Amino acid sequence: MRILIVGLGSIGRRHLANLRKIDPSAQITVWHQTPKSNHVSEFLPVDRVVYRVEDALVAKPEAALIASPASLHVETALVLARQGVHLFIEKPLSNSLKGVEELLQLCRQQKLVLMVGYNFRFYPPLRIVRQAILENLIGRPLSIRAEVGEYLPDWRPTQDYRQGVSAQRALGGGAVLELSHELDYVRWLIGEVETVSAQVGRLSDLEIDVEDTAEIVLRFRNGGIGNVHLDMVQRDKTRTCRIIGTEGVLTWDGMSHRVQLFSAATHAWSDLHPARVIERDDMYVAELRHFLDCVAGQSIPTPSGEDGKRVLQIALAALQSSKEGKAVEV
């Protein structure tokens, strides 16, 4: 298969390595959208490196992995979709809604795969949590609390955090968009979001021009309530989720990968997924395999472009709510 990778930061390099594992014979072109000075692609297993869209299209890609800054996603995707290229777009889909609906409509018209990179949908413990909810193990979900926090300079210790996408509003950075995995998976677990209320801000001394902390309250269409905490300041990394239902409680610890169930029927806790080491890369490999299966017509993309749009709407509503001091419908 002929595949184009747009952008070769940390996630682009991860996808490249995994693609080589899955399909060693793939013809891979890398398109850098910024000047050559910082790039290391000559040391990586790629077939071709280009710096202009015209040269990227000469390779006649069948599929593309867009791993550039969020502010460039939609513009790039539109160019490729018009050439009939299937699309995998890293999260978030964009940092604004401009051009998003046009892209979705174009992909529908062209019958193109459009998938968004919320890889936690391929993470076994959260899939177990979702299955437990679908099997009614805690009854009707009433509320969900999700939290993620990690000190931004620790994300990529070998890089200057101030130069990264996460630190720059113009590139789509900030806690709300960069940590929008939580917004995707709570919607995946509980259902569609109706209203969003939030307080966000830069509370730390980090040298960034974006929010580093967000407290978001979600009201779901099924009547449930959600609280999502996102931050780029915690010195002790955390990722957790707790779901309260009419007949029990589910908890997930993303550090230990443990999933526990409290059942009202037994008044006892049990492990649905015991604490153990999980290879982080496995969910990225599963995600990429799913995308390639979709391109081959063997599956339907999830999360879809529409899912990516909904998460983006929720994220932008959170920013709007904080600015205006009121709940925002989505």
For residue 294, is it within any domain? no
List Cα–Cα distances, 9 to 32, 34, 169, 199, in angstroms: 10, 11, 18, 30
DSSP summary character for residue 51: S
Of the candidates 108, 56, 112, 103, the one whose C-alpha atom is nearest the C-alpha of residue 84 is 112
271, part of any domain = yes
User: For residue 298, is it within any domain?
Assistant: no
125 and 260, same domain (yes or no) = yes
DSSP letter for 35, please. Answer: -
Among residues 156, 150, 225, which one has the least CA distance to residue 10? Answer: 156
CATH number at residue 245: 3.30.360.10
Q: What is the dihedral of CA 313, 319, 323, 325, to 10 degrees?
A: 70
Looking at residue 38, its pLDDT comes to: 53
Q: Could you give the CA distance from residue 157 to residue 167 in angstroms, rounded to a whole number? A: 14
Cis omega (within 30 of 0) for bond into 141:
no
Pair (182, 80) in one structural domain: no
Spatial contact of 29 and 47, defined as CB atoms under 8 Å apart? yes
Give the Cβ contact number of residue 87 at 10 Å: 27
Do residue 40 and residue 152 come from a single domain?
no
In which domain, by residue range, is 136 found? 120-286+310-329
Can you tell me the distance from the alpha carbon of 62 to that of 14, in angstroms, rounded to the nearest whole number?
20
Q: How many other β-carbons are positioned within 10 Å of the β-carbon of residue 172?
A: 23
Strand arrangement of the beta sheet that strand 86-90 belongs to: 48-50, 27-31, 2-6, 63-66, 86-90, 114-117
Residue 233: what pLDDT?
98
Residues 245 and 183 grouped into a single domain: yes
- Which CATH number goes with the domain that contains 88? 3.40.50.720
Which of 58, 92, 117 delimits the end of a domain?
117
DSSP string, 247-266: TEEEEEETTTTEEEEEETTT
Evaluate whether residue 305 is within a structural domain: no
Residue 62 · residue 85 · CB < 8 Å: yes
Complete DSSP assignment for 1-33: -EEEEE--SHHHHHHHHHHHHH-TT-EEEEE-S
Predicted pLDDT of residue 45? 86
- Same domain flag for 64 and 110: yes
Q: Where are the alpha helices (DSSP H) in the chain?
A: 10-22, 53-58, 70-81, 100-110, 124-134, 175-178, 181-190, 281-295, 305-324
**Distance between CA atoms of residues 89 and 64, nearest Å:** 8
Global pTM value: 0.95
* pLDDT reported for residue 39: 54
Blockwise average pLDDT, block size 10, the chain, 330 residues: 95 96 96 69 80 95 97 98 98 98 98 98 98 98 98 94 95 97 98 98 97 98 97 97 98 98 97 97 98 98 98 98 98
Cis preceding-peptide flag for 45 (omega within 30 of 0): no
